[in-house]
Amino acid sequence: MAGWTITPLVYGAIEVKKEQITTGLDVGLAVKVPYLGFYLTNGRRKVLCDTGINAKYIVDGKAWAGMPAEGGERHVLDALAHVGVVPDEIDMVLYSHLHNDHAGNSHLFEKAVHVFQDAEWKELLDPLPSMMIRGDFDQSLIPMLKDMNRQRVAGDVEILEGLKLIQTPGHTAGSQCLLVDTRDGVYLLAGDTVHVAPIAYPRMTRWLQMDGSVLEITPAPGHWGPAVPSSLVYDHYAWYRSIYRIHALVREPKHLIPGHEPSVVGRTFG
Ligand SMILES: [Zn+2]
């Protein structure tokens, strides 16, 4: 065991309609989900996963799909301060993917090496029109990352001892999950391959929220299969293959940490 610990960092939050993230279920129900990053340390290395949403993507208090949101640089600095870390101490930033709400504050981490999938870089360089319409990628990231210390990886790689990146396309071409070896087993940080737990666990009926309340939710019918896609799956064939992979790698539900999961707020893992 490499003995990493994982601390979720809250970089803000967005209110979404549940049917946007668990398609067709609980139509009209509003849920507040966090913009998350993760601080990872093994006592020597200080690693960050994702850098949150840039404030320019929140206009008049509204972000993606016109939904109420808060976030930006101040939230990232506060979240890091909460774990006693300043940006210059971060030596590596790993990206679940390069969407604007996961790579929006990378400019804060000038001393770090920035690690992402080659396929994700290519999608950022040449997004489909649908991705442009939605504003998924912030293309000012291209010159910024070119100026920074960056590392492109292709496929699965153990990037540090006890930290393994696995490519899980579907939400984006270069989405990746991170397997983290801890004293409490191997955790999987899913990014937006799995936005929230009820996507990967369709039989769930109770869902812990950021404010500590428990929401009663509708389980998916059995014939829906192993997962409930969100409205943000771009390649369904790739996404289901990624889901099968994730399910095979995660021993218990507690070891899966989705990219916008409210129930992980305020906790530490490992
Ligand atoms: Zn995304």
Measured in Å, residue 1 CA sits from the centre of ligand 1 at: 30
Which residue is it, tokens 């030596």?
91
Specify the pLDDT at position 1. 52
Measured in Å, residue 111 CA sits from the centre of ligand 1 at: 25
d(CA 249, CA 243): 10
Measured in Å, residue 5 CA sits from the centre of ligand 1 at: 24
How does strand 214-216 pair with strand 206-208? antiparallel
Q: Kindly state whether residue 269 falls inside one of the protein's structural domains.
A: no
Question: Within 13 Å of residue 156, how many CA atoms lie on the same side as its CB?
Answer: 6
Measured in Å, residue 134 CA sits from the centre of ligand 1 at: 11
Measured in Å, residue 190 CA sits from the centre of ligand 1 at: 11
CATH code: domain of residue 108: 3.60.15.10
Measured in Å, residue 92 CA sits from the centre of ligand 1 at: 20
Measured in Å, residue 171 CA sits from the centre of ligand 1 at: 7
d(CA 56, CA 40): 27
Measured in Å, residue 137 CA sits from the centre of ligand 1 at: 9
Measured in Å, residue 99 CA sits from the centre of ligand 1 at: 5
- 148: exposed, middle or buried (Cβ count in 10 Å: 0-12, 13-18, 19+): middle
Q: What is the pLDDT along the chain (270 residues), one digit of tens a residue?
A: 579 999 999 999 999 999 999 999 999 999 999 999 999 999 999 999 999 999 999 999 999 888 999 999 999 999 999 999 999 999 999 999 999 999 999 999 999 999 999 999 999 999 999 999 999 999 999 999 999 999 999 999 999 999 999 999 999 999 999 999 999 999 999 999 999 999 999 999 999 999 999 999 999 999 999 999 999 999 999 999 999 999 999 989 999 999 999 999 999 999
Per the structure, the complete domain to which residue 129 belongs is given by: 5-264
Q: Kindly state whether residue 203 falls inside one of the protein's structural domains.
A: yes
Q: Kindly state whether residue 99 falls inside one of the protein's structural domains.
A: yes
Measured in Å, residue 73 CA sits from the centre of ligand 1 at: 18
Bridge partner residues of 157 (DSSP): 165
Measured in Å, residue 160 CA sits from the centre of ligand 1 at: 24
Q: Kindly state whether residue 244 falls inside one of the protein's structural domains.
A: yes
Measured in Å, residue 210 CA sits from the centre of ligand 1 at: 20
Measured in Å, residue 192 CA sits from the centre of ligand 1 at: 5
Measured in Å, residue 224 CA sits from the centre of ligand 1 at: 23
Specify the pLDDT at position 64. 84
- Look at the chain and report how many structural domains it folds into: 1
Helix (H) or strand (E) holding 197: helix 197-200
